[in-house]
Amino acid sequence: MLISATTLWLSHLRRGKLKMTKPTVIFFGPDGGEKGISKVFLRFLLYSTGKRGVVLEHLYIRLRRGETQQNFNIWVYGEKNLARGSGLFVGQIIS
């Protein structure tokens, strides 16, 4: 019974952690649409170590250069049609 309960916990009930792969693309530069507006572009894979997955609600990036620091709290996702990020379900990687 103990082995069955442990297996149930590890495979279905454990929340797991949100993890990120190393970024494959990092871009700091001007946006193609408007002159003078800079953007930060990161491409990476998010995954959950648990079976249930994780809901990502808040995401921000903090950039520092010397003593200057700036936070970017608006994020978008998608390939061609970008959608503003307000909540994202991150599931388990299936091999």
Instruction: Read off the pTM.
Output: 0.61
What residue segments make up the domains of the chain, in order of their start? 2-90
Determine the longest span between alpha carbons in the chain, in angstroms.
65
Q: What integer pLDDT is reported at residue 57 of this predicted model? A: 83
Q: Can you tell me the distance from the alpha carbon of 85 to that of 70, in angstroms, rounded to the nearest whole number? A: 19
C-alpha closest to that of 61 among 37, 40, 35, 84: 40
Please state the length of the chain.
95
Q: What integer pLDDT is reported at residue 67 of this predicted model? A: 93
Q: What integer pLDDT is reported at residue 33 of this predicted model? A: 66
Q: What integer pLDDT is reported at residue 26 of this predicted model? A: 83
Q: Can you tell me the distance from the alpha carbon of 47 to that of 29, in angstroms, rounded to the nearest whole number? A: 27
Q: What integer pLDDT is reported at residue 34 of this predicted model? A: 66
C-alpha closest to that of 45 among 62, 25, 66, 74: 25
Within the chain, which residues score under 70 in pLDDT? 33-34, 36, 95
